[in-house]
Amino acid sequence: MNRSDRKLRDYLQQYTVPPYDSKKMKQTVRLARQAYHDRLISKRIGLWEFIRMQVRFIGRGLWLSQAVLLVFALVVISLSSISLNEMRPMFLTISGVVPLIAFLGFPEIMKSYSNGMAEIEACTRFSIRKLVGTRMLILGLTDLCCLTIILAASVASSGLPVLRMILYLSVPFNVTCCGCLTVLDHVKNTQSGYYCSAVGVVCIAAFLRLSFVKEYYEAAATGAWIILFFCSLIYFVIELIRTFRGLDRLFGSKQETLSVPW
């Protein structure tokens, strides 16, 4: 022990706690706790306000990309012929645009992991599960609006039954979402965006290739499309539940540690 350390120890040994009233100390602690709880209650954020806050954190490039895809799809569909043999441009557009619409939102959902910010966001007031769930809700509603507009334009242009057009739109969208959710469930690091991009490219290529086979878009193939729709929907729900449970396993204990013990 050097001289400065000995001097510091001597100073600390000479220090004595000044006298204080224990009752007033307990009262101060009680009032501090009450003020803390009152502040939490007064600062409580509602669902819609929280959603509006999260919309501002979504990049403008995403909204612009979806708008460009939607306009492009509507232009191609409006120029398509009503004849089944001449509707291949419309089916090609649907096969390419719909998986891309589904894919565009996932890099925004995964940016907490791709930017290495997941642990920091887990330490904030809102849980990582609530943040991811809110982003999924916002982007899912946006995708639903885009698909509804494309559906209305496709039915009006082609004259095909609404059920068949719903299947043609839903199956590529569901399959792409299933693949990206599988990535989100198993890969939570900076590489997740690349894997998700690979899934999007594969889905787009597969459905573009499928659109060149006319037999898959005839009425006789409706049963196969229905099976694909329900299988993809079931897998989508299962993978969505697994993804949120995975978020609880990763950050549940951390949130309990950071919670105030008052």
In sign, the C-alpha dihedral spanning 187, 193, 196, 197 is negative
Q: Is the pLDDT of residue 262 over 50?
A: no
Most confident of 49-53, 74-78, 121-125, 228-232: 228-232
Q: Is the pLDDT of residue 229 over 60?
A: yes
Share of the chain above pLDDT 90, in %: 16
> What does the pLDDT read at residue 256?
39
> What does the pLDDT read at residue 202?
92
> What does the pLDDT read at residue 226?
92
> What does the pLDDT read at residue 23?
81
Of 78-82, 84-88, 210-214, which gets the smallest average pLDDT? 84-88
> What does the pLDDT read at residue 253?
41
pLDDT tens figures, 143-161:
999 999 999 988 888 777 8
Q: Is the pLDDT of residue 27 over 80?
A: yes
pLDDT tens figures, 169-196:
999 999 999 998 898 888 777 777 788 8
Most confident of 92-96, 109-113, 191-195: 92-96
* pTM reported for the whole predicted model: 0.70
> What does the pLDDT read at residue 125?
60
Instruction: Report the pLDDT averaged over residues 118-135.
Output: 69
Q: Is the pLDDT of residue 41 over 90?
A: no
Q: Is the pLDDT of residue 251 over 70?
A: no
Instruction: Report the pLDDT averaged over residues 42-69.
Output: 78
Share of the chain above pLDDT 70, in %: 81
Average predicted confidence (pLDDT) for the chain? 79
Q: Is the pLDDT of residue 254 over 80?
A: no
Tokens of 89: 């441009």
